[in-house]
Amino acid sequence: MQDAIPAATLVIFRETDSGPPQLLIVERAKAMAFAGGALVFPGGRVDPGDHALAATIRGAPDDAAARIAAIRETIEETGIAIGLTPMPDAAVTARLRAGLHAGGAFGALLAEAGTGVDLGVLTAFARWRPAHAHARIFDTLFYLAALPAGAPEPEVDATENVRLFWASAQAVIDEADAGRARIIFPTRRNLERLARFEGLADAIADARRHPLRTITPWIEQREDGRYICIDADLGYPVTAEPFDQAMRA
């Protein structure tokens, strides 16, 4: 099996006065090698610097590094700080983002800003590791978090992503079903699961009811054709999709 690249992504909930919660969605640039043009959650690969910072924090080092990566990538891609303490204001967050874009070390930038990470703000939700034949295979941890009060509006980085927007999970699925958006297989399955929740508290409770077991989809031949399938005991309402309909990357 091909070695996988460790990665992390963050599902940010923005509660509304009425209706389902909204999630922050990123549209990736079409030129990106992985999931180009697709709608995803903010996130990216776990870097050596994330492990270096995780080594200074008590707890499981790989999980800490993944949480740090989810926080860092969200700042880079959207300009929103999640899981920092004390929470920086918009100006400090903008400086953190600029420093990351310039190649600065996240730990050093946090120290300069007088803030640190609060990894407990993130709740582990799922872990996906596809095994399809592709140039890049990611082993991705998905985390849940609330949008902090007073957070600025997200802004695109205009490199990896070209659009950011808030929408309910079902609204994103509907856009894809109407042919106006593209979502890869793991994102669709997670959106279907997230669409069942009335808020972040429901999502966290569901995450705690199910084991954080690595999900590796497989191909199954059925009477009416080939399907991509996942395990049925991990909280997902849809566990199979026709192979020729699924977007894999």
Q: What is the pLDDT of residue 162?
A: 86
Q: What is the pLDDT of residue 151?
A: 92
pLDDT in tens, 160-177: 788 999 999 999 999 999
Q: What is the CATH number of the domain that holds 103?
A: 3.90.79.10
Q: What is the pLDDT of residue 42?
A: 96
Which DSSP string do the residues of the chain spell out, in sequence order? -PPPEEEEEEEEEE--SSSSPEEEEEEEPTT-TTTTT-EE-SEEEPPHHHHHHHTTSSS-HHHHHHHHHHHHHHHHHHS---SEESPP-HHHHHHHHHHHHTT--HHHHHHHHT-EE-GGG-EEEEEE---SS-S--EEEEEEEEEPPTTPPPP---SSSEEEEEEE-HHHHHHHHHTTS----HHHHHHHHHHTT-SSHHHHHHHHHHS--PEE--EEEEETTEEEEE--SSSS-S--EEEGGG----
How many structural domains does the chain have?
1
pLDDT in tens, 63-73: 999 999 999 99
pLDDT in tens, 31-79: 555 656 889 999 999 999 999 999 998 878 899 999 999 999 999 999 9
Q: How confident is the model at residue 178 (pLDDT cuts 50, 70, 90)?
A: very high
Parent domain of 239: 5-245
Q: What is the pLDDT of residue 37?
A: 80
Evaluate if residue 4 carries a pLDDT over 80: yes
pTM of this prediction? 0.94
pLDDT in tens, 98-139: 999 999 999 999 999 999 999 999 999 999 998 865 557 899
Q: Answer for the pair 24, 41: CB distance below 8 angstroms, yes or no.
A: yes
